[in-house]
Amino acid sequence: MTDILSDRLKIWKNWLAHEKKVSPHTLNAYDRDVSDFLDFLGPHLGKTPTFKDLETLRAADFRAFLASRQRDGLSATSLNRVLSSVRSFFRKQEKDGVLHNPYIKIVRSPKKPKTLPRPVSPQAAKLLLNSSRHSPGTGQRWLQDRDTAVLSLLYGCGLRINEALSLNYQDRPHGDILRILGKGNKERLVPVLPAVRKAIEIYLKECPFRFQEDGPLFFGKQGKRLNARTIQHRVQELRRRLGLPETATPHALRHSFATHLLKNGGDLRTIQELLGHASLSSTQVYTDLEIDTLLKVYERTHPKSSGT
């Protein structure tokens, strides 16, 4: 490796660490990916790559590198990270005005395989909520009431966990409607079931901290706004105790909200509005999920599915 290329790598890594403030794990991954890229260029170009060589690379060269990493067994998700790492290095060089390569920008990210949501069954959802209310583990009763209220919002209203935990006291349900500020500061109204409203009222009555209109609705043990990790840990404890699959997560309750509505005749457009999806295509995955489930039931039960 030439001295200037080595220097530019150090500058890039310092920029990631101190200006972009990426985590040590991300920094190591990016460093490893770019090192792999430079190692690939040697045999690919037939010589030790120089910093100047990076400017002459074409889209086909970048694609050849991705293809070699794919042959090494990397998944589409990992390949996307690899491309992101290399782009980051080139972006820094362009930002500093020392190198310009337009071809890295036109290389398409590898297409990730389509994954379907993993909802829990209605029985499992109810079991999680009931166990959250009655099972020990939090040490204080009000914490159980709090967790039950949060999980009720996820399953009963289809909220994202961050949407629920971002609610202030003034945002609490008034009547049958809850106003939510979702992704992209897009506001939506969701109906609140009596059971959800009751769970929140019980928590409000038992919570030991003083509420302020512009303060958090949900508190942690120390009187600060509750964080998502606490709820994730709580659900993890509950699912282990109940023997539920690893896919039973707080976000799965949101998926379950949509899936169970669809199973019971819910309109796709209405579900889109309730979930706060920007486009209908995001909501249509629940239709795909239903079809996938039906096909599995068909293959398992239909007398002709075995080819007889």
Task: State the catalytic residue, choosing from 100, 183, 186, 269.
Answer: 183
- Catalytic status, residue 251: yes
* 3-state SS, residue 174: strand
- Catalytic status, residue 286: yes
Structure tokens, 223: 């009187």
Other beta carbons less than 10 A from residue 88's beta carbon: 17
Other beta carbons less than 10 A from residue 229's beta carbon: 10
Task: State the catalytic residue, choosing from 13, 146, 160, 234.
Answer: 160
User: For residues 200-212, b (16+ Cβ closer than 10 Å) or e, as one string?
Assistant: bebbbeebeeeee
Task: State the catalytic residue, choosing from 44, 58, 91, 251.
Answer: 251
Residue at 165: amino acid letter: L
Task: State the catalytic residue, choosing from 13, 146, 234, 254.
Answer: 254
- Catalytic status, residue 183: yes
- Catalytic status, residue 277: yes
Task: State the catalytic residue, choosing from 172, 234, 260, 277.
Answer: 277
Residue at 52: amino acid letter: K
Task: State the catalytic residue, choosing from 30, 155, 203, 286.
Answer: 286
Q: Which of 91, 100, 89 is CA-nearest to residue 9? A: 89
Q: Which of 22, 54, 26 is CA-nearest to residue 40? A: 54
Q: What is the DSSP string of 225-294?
A: B--HHHHHHHHHHHHHHHT--TT--HHHHHHHHHHHHHHTT--HHHHHHHHT-SSHHHHTHHHHHHHHHH
**Cα(97)–Cα(105) distance, integer angstroms:** 16
- Catalytic status, residue 254: yes
- Catalytic residue numbers read 160, 183, 251, 254, 277, 286
